């Protein structure tokens, strides 16, 4: 017998479903292995987002998703638009705002069609074509779904064939819609030598904006990377988290709007600030890409997804090798000559690194670069310091048995320089305003093709003249003040054209020198984003190399960027012993910036051995999966491990980050990511000469199951402030 209550429930369900998903609706499903983004197109061709999260087993069931997560009246029908157009019925934060050639300030975007495009292996590229019914104005939304990595890359192209130019006031890369009970945003802030401080906050109704207007080293105060945890605050291994980042090295704006229905609307893209863009008919504007990954098993999975994606698809030689190096910046600053450098080459060799990196101060003659107040832009060897030129140094280094690399800051200029005297119009400045300097320098006008040619030439010349030059550190120490170009006909294109000009130069360089290792530096981490990391093999996270500080800085970068791209140098900053500083540096790409000859016997022996050990474990750190075990924000210990893909090896780092009485690892720490069925031997690495490791005295073999259920105590305490353990499968 069918009960009346049952009939009522069925009817009610049907009513709700049909209210939101009409039979004629089209569903565009963008899926990765575990994630889905679903766009619904209704009978009026309105494209809206109905799902962003875990994928369903049955694709046909996406059509059943009720109600766009709506919990009340949507006065516009497009709160959840795939790309919210401004000026018509929209009432919330738009993704795009334009004024048409005839002065009409409104836009309507309706679905035209969508298609799967062929793309590189392991990816599916979906293009969704939208058009204004009243104007020949089109937007195409691209979604590239990286199947195994669970990453979606989204960007848009904008084009029109109106009679005159159309002004784009806002042109976001992505517009997403996520319904949940609560939204916990983790974003990062900082300054020079103080990068990547996290803040987690509960979003409330209204808009929270992450944004920068600095132009060049755009991330100095705030990087374009964030996480949003849904419902609960983000946890390492639990809960729904979306990690996102904008691949753009200039001004950006990421808006998190909790709308009147308590759903989260996200718009991410180039900052509209001072950037109205006049688009000529027939020309296409391509926005930068917004990258995101969704995880329903916490921040750990989200970051591992991004790491895998970055290594495989984004960072040059992301699955290749990196060079260890000795940098002379903190050893000499500007005070060096050929003799001193030649001695340092030998030191580098003695230490056991692959390369010597000559930093700032090697150039400028009329205005020698003897401090940071002159010479930038005059890229000729200073004849007093280097009378025999760079070629001689390269040979000397190679003679000493190591490779040679060099520091450049091609985008900037000192007011005291021949370059500025010769080309005052190549500099960004306002003719009737006082010049403002950031680290005593100005920014070159990379929107000017002649300047692009000059900047390209700096690198091309130095590599052409020294074909075995093996490394470039590309620095960027000034922000844009007085944002104005003497030659750009569109003043409000400046910020966008600058970044595009930079990318043009980098593209040319990468085409000519596809394998040259290049470090992305910006007075520390002022420019760490996946736009630039398309061209750079690695980045400099911070000038702050204090071992303890670095634990935190690297911890936070690691949510978005893989160890292989993270340059960590052992320097004299901070109070931690050299072992601590070395252990910390090993969680990435190791370098040194110390006076090797000042190391005592044990320090030198330790460092030499550490570099040999690094050779053995680097592949696990660079290519392995990162698992965070104990957070320095909530315990005495920072503990994290890298596990090889086949789970036969792992390297586990633990640090004491608090110094209260009895601080330390009082209990076993549970490991993660191992194979429960495998057996692992545990061995301590980087044991300081003259000390003994209690762990290494017995042959300790444990099952993965034991290590992940009960754990293991690395015995970190005030006498053992950093401990590195290697786990190797024992057959
Ligand atoms: C910046 C970099 C440093 C160093 C100096 C040289 O501050 O971050 O590593 O290269 O410039 O001037």
Please state whether beta strands 289-295 and 240-247 pair in parallel, antiparallel, or not at all (unpaired). antiparallel
The CA radius of gyration of the chain, in Å to the nearest whole number, is 27
DSSP states of 452-487: HHHHHHHHHHHHHHSTT--EEEE-------S---SS
Residue 617 is part of a domain; what is its CATH number?
3.20.20.70
Q: Is 137 in the pocket of ligand 1 (CB under 6 A)?
A: no
For residues 43 and 177, membership in a common domain is answered with yes
pLDDT of residue 24: 77
Distances (CA, A) of 91 to 49, 79, 117: 17, 8, 33
Task: Give me 6's structure tokens.
Answer: 């049952």
Pairing of strands 166-179, 96-99: antiparallel
Residues 616 and 637 in one domain: no
- Which CA distances in Å does 623 have to 19, 317, 321, 631? 49, 12, 10, 22
Tokens of 72: 């009340």
Question: Cα separation of 249 and 15, whole Å?
Answer: 48
707 belongs to a structural domain: yes
Nearest-angstrom CA–CA distance, 684 and 663? 21
Q: For ligand 1, say whether the CB of 524 is within 6 Å of any of its atoms.
A: yes
> What spacing in Å lies between the alpha carbon of 562 and ligand 1's midpoint?
22
CATH number of domain containing 700: 2.60.40.1180
290 domain-assigned = yes
Both 102 and 120 in a single domain? yes
Q: Which two tokens stand for residue 561?
A: 């960027």
- The CATH number for 117's domain is 2.70.98.60
Residue 294 shares a structural domain with residue 336 = no
Task: Extract the tokens encoding 505.
Answer: 């130069």
Q: How many domains, in total, are found in the chain? A: 3
What residue's CA is closest to ligand 1, atom 6? 360
Q: DSSP assignment of 277-337, as one string?
A: EEEPTT-EEEPPEEEEEEESBHHHHHHHHHHHHIIIIISTTTTS----EEE-HHHHTT---
User: Based on the domain organization, do 644 and 594 belong to the same domain?
Assistant: no
Please indicate whether residue 636, judged by its CB atom, sits closer than 6 Å to ligand 1: no
Distances (CA, A) of 698 to 43, 245, 681, 726: 72, 46, 10, 14
Last residue of one domain, picked from the residues 290, 314, 338: 314
Query: Which residues contact residue 325 at a Cβ distance below 8 angstroms, ignoring those fewer than 6 apart?
Result: 348, 353, 354, 355, 356, 357, 405, 471, 591, 592
Task: Give the pair of three-digit tokens for residue 167.
Answer: 């002004």
Query: Which protein residue's CA is at the shortest distance from atom 3 of ligand 1?
Result: 523
Q: Please report, to the nearest 10 degrees, the dihedral formed by the alpha carbons of residues 673, 675, 676, 682 taken in order.
A: -80
Q: Where are the beta strands (DSSP E) in 354-416?
A: 355-358, 403-408, 412-413
Query: What contacts 1, CB < 8 A, 6 or more positions away?
Result: none
Instruction: Mention every residue, 6+ apart, whose C-beta is less than 8 A from residue 710.
Output: 668, 670
Q: What is the pLDDT of residues 604-649, one digit of tens each?
A: 999 999 999 999 999 999 999 999 999 999 999 999 999 999 999 9
Binding residues: 192, 359-360, 439, 473-477, 521, 543
- Centre of ligand 1 to C-alpha 240, Å, is 39
Q: Determine the pLDDT at residue 57.
A: 97
Q: Which of 191, 192, 475 to mutate to test the pocket of ligand 1 (most atoms within 8 A of CB)?
A: 475
- Per DSSP, the three-state class of 347 is helix
Distance 525 CA to ligand 1 centre (A): 11
Shared domain check, 75 and 49: yes
Rounded to the nearest angstrom, the distance between the alpha carbon of 485 and the centre of ligand 1 is: 26
d(CA 445, CA 455): 10
Residue whose CA is at the smallest distance from ligand 1 atom 11:
523
28 part of a folded domain: yes
Burial (0-12, 13-18, 19+ Cβ within 10 Å), 228: buried
Which residues of the chain register pLDDT less than 70?
1-21, 67-70
Residue 379 structural domain: 325-623
Q: Which residues are catalytic?
A: 475, 543
Distance 187 CA to ligand 1 centre (A): 26
At residue 234, the pLDDT reads: 87
Could you tell me if 429 and 476 lie in one domain? yes
Q: Could you tell me the pTM of the whole model?
A: 0.96
| Residue 547 beta carbon below 6 angstroms from any ligand 1 atom | no
| 523 Cβ below 6 A of ligand 1 | yes
Asked whether 407 lines ligand 1 (CB < 6 A), one says yes
Last residue of a domain, one of 623, 641, 669: 623
In a domain? residue 589: yes
Q: Is 359 in the pocket of ligand 1 (CB under 6 A)?
A: yes
- Residues with Cβ within 8 Å of 654's Cβ and at least 6 positions away in sequence, in order, are 629, 630, 637, 638, 639, 665, 669, 714, 716, 722, 723, 724, 725
Q: What is the DSSP letter of 250?
A: S
The rounded distance, in Å, linking the Cα atoms of 257 and 579 is 46
Query: Is the residue at 482 inside a domain?
Result: yes
Does any ligand 1 atom lie closer than 6 A to the CB of residue 360?
Answer: yes
Do residues 520 and 593 both lie within one domain?
yes
Pairing label, strands 151-160, 284-286: antiparallel
Size (the chain), residues = 731
Residue (of 402, 442, 438) closest to 424 by Cα position:
442
Question: Residue 470: is it exposed, middle or buried by C-beta count within 10 angstroms (0-12/13-18/19+)?
Answer: buried
CA of residue 357 to ligand 1 center, whole Å: 12
Does 475 contact ligand 1 (Cβ within 6 A)? yes
Tokens (6 digits) for 722: 């950093």
Is-contact 129 113, C-beta < 8 A?
yes
Residue 424 falls inside a structural domain: yes
Indicate whether 319 belongs to any domain: no
Q: Are residues 452 and 601 in the same domain?
A: yes
Residues 44 and 148 in one domain: yes
Q: Are residues 263 and 356 in the same domain?
A: no
Q: Which residues have a Cβ under 8 Å from the Cβ of 281 and sit 6 or more positions away? A: 101, 160, 161, 162, 163, 164, 165
Helices 389-400 and 338-351: crossing angle in degrees, nearest 10, is: 30
**Three-state secondary-structure class, residue 78:** coil
Strand-strand pairing, 225-230 and 183-189: antiparallel
pLDDT score at 179: 94
Q: Are 416 and 409 in contact (CB under 8 A)?
A: no
Pocket test for ligand 1, best of 476, 523, 544, 594 (most atoms within 8 A of CB): 523
Q: End-to-end distance of the chain based on CA atoms, in angstroms?
A: 63
DSSP string, 113-161: EEEEE--STTEEEEEEEEE-TTSSEEEEEEEEEETTTTEEEEEEEEEE-
Which residue, 623, 658, 678, sits at the end of a domain?
Answer: 623
CB 290 within 8 A of CB 244: yes
DSSP bridge partners of 116: 126
572 and 630 share one domain: no
320 domain residue, yes or no: no
Q: Annotated binding site for substrate: which residue ranges?
A: 192, 359-360, 439, 473-477, 521, 543
- Residue 172 DSSP symbol: E
């Amino acid at each position: 017998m069918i009960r009346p209550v049952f009939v009522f429930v069925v009817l009610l369900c049907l009513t709700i479903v049909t209210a939101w998903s009409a039979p004629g609706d089209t569903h565009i499903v963008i899926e990765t292995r575990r994630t889905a983004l679903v766009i619904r197109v209704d009978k009026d061709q309105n494209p809206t987002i109905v799902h962003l999260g875990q994928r369903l087993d049955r694709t046909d069931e996406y059509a059943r998703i009720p109600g766009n997560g709506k919990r009340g009246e949507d006065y516009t029908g497009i709160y959840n638009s795939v790309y919210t157009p401004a000026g018509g019925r929209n009432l919330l934060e738009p993704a795009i705002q334009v004024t048409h050639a005839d002065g009409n300030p409104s836009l309507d975007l309706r679905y035209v069609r969508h298609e799967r495009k062929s793309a590189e292996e392991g990816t599916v590229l979906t293009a969704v074509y939208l058009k204004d019914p009243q104007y020949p104005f089109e937007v195409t939304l691209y979604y590239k779904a990286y199947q195994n990595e669970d990453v979606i890359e989204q960007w848009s192209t904008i084009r029109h064939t109106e009679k005159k130019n159309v002004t784009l006031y806002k042109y976001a890369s992505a517009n997403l819609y996520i319904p949940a009970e609560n939204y916990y945003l983790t974003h990062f802030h900082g300054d020079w030598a103080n990068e990547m401080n996290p803040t987690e906050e509960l979003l409330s109704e209204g808009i929270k904006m992450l944004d920068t207007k600095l132009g060049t080293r755009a991330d100095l105060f705030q990087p374009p990377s964030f996480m949003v945890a849904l419902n609960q605050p983000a946890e390492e291994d639990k809960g729904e988290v979306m990690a996102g980042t904008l691949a753009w090295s200039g001004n950006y704006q990421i808006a998190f709007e909790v709308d009147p229905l308590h759903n989260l609307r996200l718009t991410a893209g180039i900052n509209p600030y001072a950037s109205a863009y006049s688009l000529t008919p027939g020309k296409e504007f391509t926005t930068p890409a917004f990258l995101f990954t969704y995880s329903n098993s916490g921040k750990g999975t989200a970051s591992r997804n991004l790491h895998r994606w970055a290594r495989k698809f984004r960072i040059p030689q992301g699955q290749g090798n990196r060079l260890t190096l000795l940098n002379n910046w903190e050893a000499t600053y500007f005070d060096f000559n050929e003799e001193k450098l030649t001695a340092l080459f030998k030191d580098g060799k003695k230490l056991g690194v692959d390369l010597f990196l000559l930093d700032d101060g090697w150039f400028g003659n009329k205005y020698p670069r003897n401090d940071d107040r002159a010479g930038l832009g005059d890229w000729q060897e200073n004849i007093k310091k280097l009378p025999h030129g760079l070629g001689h140094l390269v040979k000397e280094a190679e003679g000493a048995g190591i490779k040679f690399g060099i520091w450049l800051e091609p985008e900037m200029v000192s007011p005291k320089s021949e370059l500025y005297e010769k080309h005052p119009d190549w500099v960004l400045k306002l003719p009737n305003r006082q010049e403002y300097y950031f680290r005593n320098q100005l920014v070159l006008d990379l929107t000017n093709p002649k300047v692009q040619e000059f900047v390209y030439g700096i690198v091309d010349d130095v590599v052409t003249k020294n074909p075995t030059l093996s490394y470039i550190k590309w620095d960027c120490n000034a922000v844009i003040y007085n944002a104005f170009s003497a030659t750009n006909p569109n003043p409000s294109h400046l910020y966008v054209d600058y970044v595009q000009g930079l990318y043009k130069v980098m593209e040319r360089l990468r085409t000519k020198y596809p394998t040259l290792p290049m470090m992305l530096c910006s007075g520390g981490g002022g420019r760490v984003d996946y736009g630039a990391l398309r061209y750079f093999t690695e980045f400099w996270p911070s000038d702050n190399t204090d071992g303890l500080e670095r634990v935190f800085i690297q911890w936070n970068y690691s949510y978005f960027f893989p160890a292989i791209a993270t340059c960590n140098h052992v320097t004299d900053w901070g109070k931690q012993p050299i072992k601590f500083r070395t252990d910390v540096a090993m969680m990435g790409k190791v370098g040194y910036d110390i006076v090797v000859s000042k190391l005592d016997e044990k320090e030198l022996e330790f460092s030499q051995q550490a570099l040999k050990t690094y050779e053995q474990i680097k592949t696990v750190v660079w290519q392995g999966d990162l698992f965070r075990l104990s957070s320095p924000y909530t315990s005495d210990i920072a503990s994290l491990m890298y596990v090889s893909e086949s789970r036969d090896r792992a390297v586990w780092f633990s640090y004491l980050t608090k110094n209260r009485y009895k601080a330390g690892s009082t209990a076993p720490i549970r490991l993660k990511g191992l194979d429960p069925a495998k057996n692992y031997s545990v061995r301590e690495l980087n044991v300081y000469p003259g000390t003994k490791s209690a762990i290494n005295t017995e042959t300790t073999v444990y099952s993965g199951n034991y290590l992940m259920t009960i754990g293991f105590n690395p015995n970190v305490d005030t006498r053992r402030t950093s401990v590195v353990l290697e786990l190797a499968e024992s057959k």
